[in-house]
């Protein structure tokens, strides 16, 4: 979707200003927000792509007025309500008032290190051969889906070059909406800066993205 998160090439947001020696968390509540989000995800009711789409679906005014972990918590509220773990009354009261869904599993403190070490691998075998090869010229498709996609808006309908074939991975555009993993080949595609940003762009600049096969067509 062309949501508020898709900021590449957008103007009016000021320069990117990395913070020197930036701490992992700027406040204690951010650490808790991360822990609560990961713990809730471990219940198994949704996947990472649905979680990302919940963040993208926040109203732009709300999204831009929120910090990074505020966005996480607001999206988590959406997911918990959608899957029946909390109600509006629960959230308003800050307490469990209504019957809720029983989670598939509960993450215990003693199992956290092992679960985090395992991660959530999303590489999958693909039964068909890769359509593209390293060095091949391609063009990204021009589409504006209402659902989740990992193809940035600024990189649509642009010519690029296949730099690497990364293997098969879960297709986020369907996985976010409960329509199956549908794994596809993923490629690293390199674009000239002028092709992305147009006249006046730095001619020495290149931009690379990882793109699923269905995002691409032969140039």
Residue-wise pLDDT for 88-139, tens only, equals 999 999 999 999 999 999 999 999 999 999 999 999 999 999 999 999 999 9
The lowest-confidence range among 6-15, 29-38, 44-53 is: 6-15
What pLDDT band is residue 4 in, cutting at 50, 70 and 90?
A: very high
Cα 43 from chain centroid? 19
One DSSP character per residue, 3-33 reads -TT--TT--SS----PPTT--S-SSHHHHHH
Mean pLDDT of 38-55: 97
Q: Do the beta carbons of residue 212 and residue 171 sit within 8 Å?
A: yes
Coil, helix or strand for 38?
helix
Residue-wise pLDDT for 181-215, tens only, equals 999 999 999 999 999 999 999 989 999 999 999 99
Note the pLDDT of residue 29. 97
What pLDDT band is residue 16 in, cutting at 50, 70 and 90?
A: confident
Helix (H) or strand (E) holding 81: helix 68-82
Closest by CA to 187, choosing from 159, 158, 167, is 167
Please tell me the number of Cα atoms within 13 Å of 6 on its side-chain side: 17
Mean pLDDT of 70-88: 97
Residues 6+ apart with CB under 8 A from 213: 130, 131, 132, 184, 185, 186, 187
Domains, the chain: 28-118 (1.10.472.20), 137-218 (2.30.30.50)
């Amino acid at each position: 979707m062309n949501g508020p998160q898709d900021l590449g090439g957008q103007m009016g947001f000021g320069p990117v200003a990395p913070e020197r020696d930036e701490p992992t968390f700027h406040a204690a509540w951010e650490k808790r927000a991360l822990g609560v989000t990961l713990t809730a995800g471990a219940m198994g009711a949704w996947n990472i792509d649905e979680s990302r789409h919940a963040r993208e679906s926040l109203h732009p005014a709300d999204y831009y007025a929120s910090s990074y972990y505020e966005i996480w918590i607001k999206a988590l509220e959406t997911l918990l309500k959608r899957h029946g773990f909390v109600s509006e009354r629960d959230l308003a009261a800050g307490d469990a008032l209504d019957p809720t869904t029983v989670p598939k599993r509960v993450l215990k403190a003693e199992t956290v290190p092992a679960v985090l070490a395992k991660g959530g691998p999303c590489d999958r075998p693909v039964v068909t051969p890769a359509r593209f090869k390293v060095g091949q010229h391609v063009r990204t498709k021009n589409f504006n889906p209402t659902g989740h996609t990992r193809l940035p808006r600024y990189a649509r309908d642009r010519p690029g070059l296949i730099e690497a074939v990364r293997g098969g991975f879960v297709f986020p555009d369907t996985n976010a909406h409960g329509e199956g993993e549908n794994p596809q080949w993923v490629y690293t595609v390199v674009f000239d800066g002028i092709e992305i940003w147009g006249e006046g762009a730095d001619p020495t600049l290149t931009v690379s993205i990882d793109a699923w096969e269905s995002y691409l067509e032969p140039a």
